[in-house]
Amino acid sequence: MKAIKVREFGGPEVMKLEDTADVVAGEGQVVVRVHAAGVNPVDTYIRTGTYAVKPNLPYTPGLDAAGVVESAGTGVTHVKPGDRVYIAGSISGSYAEKTLCNSGQVHPLPDNVSFAQGACVFVPYGTAYRGLFQRGGAKAGETVLIHGASGGVGTAGVQLARAAGLTVIGTGGTERGRALVKAQGAHHVVDHGDPDYLRQIMDLTEGRGVDMVLEMLANVNLAKDLTLLARGGRVVVVGNRGTIEINPRETMGRDACIMGMVLLNTPAAELASIHAGLYAGLENGSLRPVVGQEIPLAEAARAHIAVMEPGAYGKIVLIP
Ligand code: NAP
């Protein structure tokens, strides 16, 4: 089988397509033939070798994929060969023609969801779901600012929050991205590059502020986010690429709360709840992953450059 291999940490060019030994399912394991693999910003951080997660070399990148079960080891009962599935992490990496998973990492994919869309489920939707509901405690009737709504987590967050009865304000940095955010169900869309956009958000909430912020770039926005919060407001830090100075006083009169999250910290029971919620939303059509770009697996390096560029538009997936 062919797989992307990283033999040394570094830039996108360290990813090379190689012939490797076929993966084989042992007890409690599943081999999935990958039809599409999702590209996430975290894949690029890991590839540099400077991230908290540092795999042993050589390794195959990728947490997300969708495809068909090729084989299942003894003790696997919830899926069988031929089933359409998406994966939530794997043992051997998803940037490959086949990936070896523990059975708990393999989840049924509803028939109405394409493989390319299935490759956008776990990290983006799982993160948005956990950030909104499990960490942020989002409730119907509240107003949420999805700060960075044009990318993978953002489009997922807009769809999830809209379906759950929140008023959704989304931001995007390009006209194309903002049109996408609107099409996903945001009630209001603003440009996070517009010097006036904080006032626009306050105007949209009639001066009250938002109940929650799902934040994709906290090192740029956290100090501003605090000034946008209504009383009892919460900021959930999803994305961050540096440091920032904030004024803690902004949290005081608002009884506000700043919370961080990393999807991979999610306890098993809450993760099971996330997958159940995502399956239901995918099946009933309220969740519709946006595939912005399909790139051949051999060009994974190009995908890693693209995912870090401004002008996000849904998700980038690799096609083996
Ligand atoms: P993505 O698809 O590349 O999207 C990035 C988003 O950030 C786009 O909407 C982009 O908008 C927006 N953005 C750019 N500049 C911004 C600014 N100044 N203010 C607000 N938003 C801005 O990435 P993603 O997959 O959605 O992930 C988003 C972030 O969350 C990444 O940093 C990722 O590493 C992190 N993440 C964390 C977890 C976790 O477990 N904590 C899980 C998944 C992702 P434009 O391009 O339109 O400007």
Kindly state whether residue 103 falls inside one of the protein's structural domains: yes
The pLDDT score that the predictor gives to residue 188 is: 98
Are the CB atoms for 116 and 291 separated by under 8 Å? yes
Q: Which amino acid is at 228?
A: L
Q: Residue 126 — pLDDT band, cuts 50, 70, 90?
A: very high
**One domain, residues 110 and 130:** no
The pLDDT score that the predictor gives to residue 270 is: 98
Nearest-CA residue for ligand 1 atom 13 is 148
**One domain, residues 21 and 56:** yes
Would the CA dihedral through 82, 316, 219, 133 be positive or negative?
negative
CB atoms within 10 A of CB 133: 18
**How do residues 178-212 score in pLDDT, each as one tens digit?**
999 999 999 999 999 999 999 999 999 999 999 99
Contacts of 31 (CB under 8 A, 6+ apart): 23, 24, 25, 69, 70, 71, 72, 98, 99, 100, 101
181-203 burial: b if 16+ Cβ within 10 Å, else e: bbebbbebbbbbeeeeebeebee
Kindly state whether residue 67 falls inside one of the protein's structural domains: yes
Q: What is the mean pLDDT of residues 126-135?
A: 98
**One domain, residues 81 and 103:** yes
Kindly state whether residue 64 falls inside one of the protein's structural domains: yes
Q: Residue 292 — pLDDT band, cuts 50, 70, 90?
A: very high
**How do residues 76-122 score in pLDDT, each as one tens digit?**
999 999 999 999 999 999 999 999 999 999 999 999 999 999 999 99
Kindly state whether residue 47 falls inside one of the protein's structural domains: yes
The pLDDT score that the predictor gives to residue 303 is: 98
The pLDDT score that the predictor gives to residue 278 is: 98
Query: Domain total for the chain?
Result: 2
Nearest-CA residue for ligand 1 atom 22 is 148
**One domain, residues 65 and 192:** no
**One domain, residues 152 and 183:** yes
Kindly state whether residue 275 falls inside one of the protein's structural domains: no
**One domain, residues 163 and 48:** no
Kindly state whether residue 283 falls inside one of the protein's structural domains: no
- Give the domain CATH number at 157: 3.40.50.720
Give the residue carrying structure tokens 């998803």. Answer: 94
CA 175 to chain centre: 22
The pLDDT score that the predictor gives to residue 252 is: 98
Q: Residue 215 — pLDDT band, cuts 50, 70, 90?
A: very high
The pLDDT score that the predictor gives to residue 160 is: 98
Which residues on neighbouring strands pair with residue 234, listed in sequence order? 212, 257
**One domain, residues 108 and 9:** yes
What phi and psi values does residue 250 have, to the nearest 5 degrees?
A: -60, -20
The pLDDT score that the predictor gives to residue 163 is: 98
User: Measuring from each residue's beta carbon to the nearest atom of ligand 1, which residues come in under 6 Å?
Assistant: 40-42, 123-124, 127, 147-154, 171-174, 177, 192, 216-217, 220-221, 238-239, 261-263, 307, 310-312
**One domain, residues 239 and 110:** no
Question: Rounded to the nearest whole angstrom, what is the distance from the C-alpha of residue 65 to the centroid of ligand 1?
Answer: 20
Q: What is the mean pLDDT of residues 36-54?
A: 96
**In this structure, what token pair is assigned to residue 294?**
């399909």
- Which conformational region is residue 114 in: left (phi greater than 0), alpha (psi within -120 to 50 degrees), or beta? beta
Nearest-atom number in ligand 1 for the CA of 149 is 9
**One domain, residues 16 and 116:** yes
Kindly state whether residue 276 falls inside one of the protein's structural domains: no
Question: Rounded to the nearest whole angstrom, what is the distance from the C-alpha of residue 15 to the centroid of ligand 1?
Answer: 23
DSSP string, 228-273: HEEEEEEEEE----S-----THHHHTTT-EEEE--GGG--HHHHHH
**How do residues 219-240 score in pLDDT, each as one tens digit?**
999 999 999 999 999 999 999 9
- Give the domain CATH number at 81: 3.90.180.10
The pLDDT score that the predictor gives to residue 226 is: 98
Residue where a domain stops, chosen among 264, 279, 298: 264
- Report the percent of the chain where pLDDT is more than 70: 100
**One domain, residues 136 and 255:** yes
Q: What is the mean pLDDT of residues 41-62?
A: 96
Are the CB atoms for 20 and 2 separated by under 8 Å? yes
Kindly state whether residue 32 falls inside one of the protein's structural domains: yes
Contacts of 169 (CB under 8 A, 6+ apart): 143, 144, 145, 146, 186, 187, 188, 189, 190, 201, 204, 205, 210
Q: Is the peptide bond before 12 cis (omega within 30 degrees of 0)?
A: no
Q: How far apart are CA 193 and CA 306, in angstroms?
A: 20
Q: What is the mean pLDDT of residues 56-73?
A: 98
**One domain, residues 75 and 168:** no
**One domain, residues 57 and 103:** yes
Residue span of the structural domain in which 213 resides: 124-264
- Report the percent of the chain where pLDDT is more than 90: 99
